[in-house]
């Protein structure tokens, strides 16, 4: 499946603000802000792919203090792919223009990244996974978003809002169903 379809890109673009990642900027940095409680090995593999690093390098990066730059010099689309890979593993990240990362004062950048960690996109919401079709696309969905686990009947999980919105989009596309049962209310688009 083409996981980074137009709707998924739109869901990823809610942050960062345009001034930090204007479309005309040449290169971007993918900054890892926070790591959730998902499958650690899946996260290491995602960081390996995004950073083009070895498993050991990815582990060292993840053991370091957050926020951390996963990779610089990305196109915006490559940054989105990386952000998607990380959110699927319950890790929050943002795309920021390389120039901002390289030239901003340390206190400004620290405040900026701290502010990103607090946005509602990364708040946890409780979701009920009502159904996932027993099909190849259903299995791909489980592999991508649930670490390969097929939810039993109505599974209840806590996930970041951004991941939930992307999962809801894909659940609807494959004939599955999810319901947000508690958490911050959805903003109007």
In this predicted model, what pLDDT tens digit does every residue of 127-168 receive, in sequence order? Answer: 999 999 999 999 999 999 988 777 766 788 899 999 999 999
Pairwise CA distance, residues 97 & 21, whole Å: 5
CATH topology of domain 6-120: Ribosomal Protein L30; Chain: A, (3.30.1390)
Percent of the chain exceeding pLDDT 90 equals 53
Sign of CA dihedral 55, 101, 106, 103: positive
Q: Spell out the domain ranges in the chain.
A: 6-120, 123-182
Percent of the chain exceeding pLDDT 70 equals 88
In this predicted model, what pLDDT tens digit does every residue of 63-106 receive, in sequence order? Answer: 988 899 999 999 999 999 999 999 999 999 999 999 888 888 88
Answer yes or no: same fold for 6-120 and 123-182.
Answer: no
b/e map 89-110, b = 16+ CB within 10 Å: bbbbbbbbbbebbeebeeeebe
Domain 123-182 = CATH 1.10.3210: no
């Amino acid at each position: 499946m083409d996981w980074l379809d137009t709707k998924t890109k739109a869901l990823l673009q809610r942050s960062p603000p345009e001034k930090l990642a204007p479309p005309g900027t040449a290169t971007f940095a993918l900054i890892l802000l926070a790591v959730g409680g998902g499958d650690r090995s899946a996260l290491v593999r995602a960081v390996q792919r995004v950073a083009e690093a070895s498993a050991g390098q990815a582990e060292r990066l993840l053991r370091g203090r957050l926020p951390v730059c996963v990779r610089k010099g990305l196109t915006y689309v490559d940054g989105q792919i990386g952000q998607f890979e990380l959110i699927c593993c319950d890790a929050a990240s943002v795309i920021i223009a390389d120039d901002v990362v390289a030239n901003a004062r340390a206190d400004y950048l620290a405040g900026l990244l701290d502010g990103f960690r607090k946005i509602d996109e990364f708040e946890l919401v409780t979701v009920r996974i009502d159904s996932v079709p027993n099909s190849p696309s259903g299995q791909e969905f489980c592999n991508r978003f649930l670490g390969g686990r097929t939810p039993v009947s109505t599974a209840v999980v806590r996930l970041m809002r951004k991941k939930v919105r992307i999962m809801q989009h894909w659940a609807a596309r494959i004939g599955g169903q999810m319901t947000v049962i508690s958490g911050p209310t959805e903003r109007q688009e």
